[in-house]
Amino acid sequence: MQLQLSTWPEVEEYLKISSGIVIPIGSTEQHGPNGLIGTDAICAEAISKGVGDETEALVGPTINVGMALHHTSFPGTVSLRPSTLLALVQDYITFLTKAGFTKFFFINGHGGNMATVKAAFAQTYTHLSELQIPNSDRVQCRLANWFLCSSVRNLAKELYGDREGSHATASEVAVTQFLYPEAIKNVELDAQLPPQDKIYGPDDFRRRHPDGRMGSDPSMATPEHGERFYKAAVKELSQAYREFLQAE
């Protein structure tokens, strides 16, 4: 069930049986020579909808743009500053709490969002208690990163070994190929693995990673692999969501 395709009376009915919501969060950033700019948002949204179907959870509107400042020397990248993302996440949670939601399960597709989203959770708990919204003391937020699911990690290791990498990975490119086969790019990639350095500023990032990849070989991605990653992530995160709902 998607919030965007629901009416307010339907949301009111839903809240009588559940106070949980799944919120996809991704990024709009360069993903190497053959990866789509929307990769992180596309993956997070599709996996969230899969979890919603599996668990009958309401799925909120996708946060499509995330914290991608280090990718902004490549054209097409759009980034929020950490402070903007923090405020955005806080506003999502605040007004959904006001409606009656208390269990927020964010399914994330971008490593660069993690620190800011966790900071947003910490700040929001205090913000809610200051606002004295009923039930705000029961609000719980969870950040679930689909690409860190153990089933996903294991499959990536099996399929790609040390060529999975950490950005513009073969696994995430495979998921987008499964979802959007019409957008598959046939691009020749340098066979030598690019470095997987630390991340500093955007110009430094582009200097170290001229084609945008970090330690990855996304030429190995296939739509069939993508379907396997998608199913593994939906299965593991559906279980995690159910446990999160039941936990005190």
Which are the contacts of 161, defined by CB distance < 8 A and separation ≥ 6? none
Minimum CB distance to Ni ion, residue 142 (Å) = 20
Token pair in block for residue 43: 């993956």
Query: Contact region for Ni ion (CB under 5 A) — 14-22, 31-39, 83-91, 222-230?
Result: 31-39
Query: Contact region for Ni ion (CB under 5 A) — 36-44, 91-99, 115-123, 133-141?
Result: 36-44
Residue 164 binds to Ni ion (criterion: CB under 5 A): no
The residue (of 36 and 59) whose beta carbon lies closer to Ni ion is 36
Judged by CB under 5 A, which of 23, 32, 38, 40 binds Ni ion?
A: 40
How big is the site for Ni ion, counted in residues (CB under 5 A)? 3
User: Per-residue string for binding with Ni ion, 183-212, x by CB under 5 A?
Assistant: ------------------------------
Say if CB 243 and CB 162 are below 8 A apart: no
Minimum CB distance to Ni ion, residue 172 (Å) = 5
User: Segment 95-134, which members bind Ni ion (CB under 5 A)?
Assistant: none
The residue (of 19 and 27) whose beta carbon lies closer to Ni ion is 27
* 129 alpha-carbon distance from chain centroid: 27
Nearest-angstrom CA–CA distance, 147 and 27? 14
* 189 alpha-carbon distance from chain centroid: 26
Minimum CB distance to Ni ion, residue 177 (Å) = 14
The residue (of 123 and 166) whose beta carbon lies closer to Ni ion is 166
Strands (E), the chain: 20-25, 58-59, 103-108, 140-145
Q: What is the CA radius of gyration of the chain?
A: 18
| CB-count burial class (<10 Å; 0-12, 13-18, 19+) for 147 | buried
The secondary structure of the chain in percent helix, strand, coil, rounded to multiples of 5, reads: 55, 10, 35
The residue (of 80 and 128) whose beta carbon lies closer to Ni ion is 80
Q: Applying CB under 5 A, which residues contact Ni ion?
A: 39-40, 172
